[in-house]
Amino acid sequence: MTGTDRRVKSTNDLELKDRLVAINRTTKVTKGGRTFTFAAMVVVGNEDGIIGWGLGKAGEVTTAIAKGVEAAKKNLMKVPVYKGT
């Protein structure tokens, strides 16, 4: 692999698995009470040298994870695999 262009062009034929790395809850205190928002960091990959990561933010955890997965699929790159590891 030469150069620094490791971006994956198409994701249609890839079988990607996703893993949740971290969830962060932030609190904003207003006059009406507390407002919670969640941020989820997600990693996706095909376990054969293609990975991507994404960060999703939303008012609910499931929505934040879904946004993180979509962001990770847009951020795929190739990683060199040496002797299968």
- Top-level class of domain 17-78: alpha beta
Domain ranges of the chain: 17-78
Other CB atoms within 10 A of residue 55 CB? 17
Give the predicted TM-score (pTM) of the model. 0.82
User: If you search the block for the tokens 């095909």, which residue do you land on?
Assistant: 46
Whether 4 shows a pLDDT value over 60: the answer reads yes
Closest CA to 50 of 24, 80, 21, 71: 80
Write the CA distances from 73 to 6, 9, 33, integer angstroms: 14, 11, 36
The tens digit of pLDDT for each residue in 27-40 reads 999 999 999 999 99
Least confident of 17-21, 52-56, 79-83: 79-83
Whether 25 shows a pLDDT value over 80: the answer reads yes
Percent of the chain's residues with pLDDT above 70: 88
